[in-house]
Structure 1
Amino acid sequence: MVMKLSGGGSPTLYLLPNHLAPEYDYDFTNINDNRMKFERGNFEYKCLCGWKRIALNVLDKYENNIWLGVYGRKSSISSAQNEWPVSYHGTAKHNCKSIAEEGYDLCKYKRFAFGHGIYSTPDIDVASAYATQFTHEGDRYQVVFQNRVNPNNLVRVTMKKTGVDEY
């Protein structure tokens, strides 16, 4: 999960401590990647520059952690073998707890402009357009989930079809 902060402060999302993995939190708010090309799961994705990552606890969610790319990465810009691609999903703050606890629930979604599914994009700027802004203690925030997408279930919707970017 990543948050864009406007005005500083500490976010409050009402997630339980067991949902979080603070050792993987990272502050990208003052990072400039100079438009470097990054790859995860052999797909290009856009870095989190300007955002703060608050990590959810997903280690050992499946039979192993290879899907996370935690082993064998040759450089920070390349993919590790058998890792899943990274994508981003913008949402409203009231969805955070249920997504963290239960994952994405297709039954809760109502808009399917490009077919039945949960939409995400490798470009955080595109995902942020779907993230509702909210104010907490005078500071503005947005919430975007950073996902790993199982390549066996991945359906790509082209920029030509969306008119915005690839989903």
Structure 2
Amino acid sequence: MALVISQAPKLDIEGTRWVEIAPGVKIQVGSAANPKFKSHHAMIQRHQSIVDSRYGVGTEGFDPVNAEIPDIESMDDMLVDLVCKHIILDWEGVEEAESPGVDTPYTQERAKLLIGLRPDVYFTALQVATDIATRAEERAKETAKKPSTPTAGGVSGQASRARKRAGSESVLRA
């Protein structure tokens, strides 16, 4: 006789979804709730905040002609890297011009090239990633509201008192 133990599905904050971005072309998108994505995104925001502060962005002292500013990696480039690393996970139907008819494997560098040609892919991936995270959060809230199902085990409650061992004494002090 074979036994099968089924487990309740986990709340899938790292779920994925395939999205068609053109006829015959799909990208696999991961969740924006992925802890690695969230951590990397927070790091980029801190970096940008430091750069803004250093150059006085948003103040009267800001000078966009400052020679050092172009040397700093742009926020756009960092966010595209972030999406290519943590949000877009794979694709189907993408070909290189040198090899028509042959699907090219997904890499972050190729994904950056695709986003350079089709910036809408970046926004589509972010929108889907956010939707996946939102739905996982909604499922978690729904699950938290449901009462636990009864088990086949015995009734739980207060534990019975432990017996004193023979020869042991208990001392009460006031």
The TM-score normalised by the length of structure 1 is: 0.26
Higher strand share: 1
Higher share in helix: 2
Q: TM-score w.r.t. structure 2 length?
A: 0.25
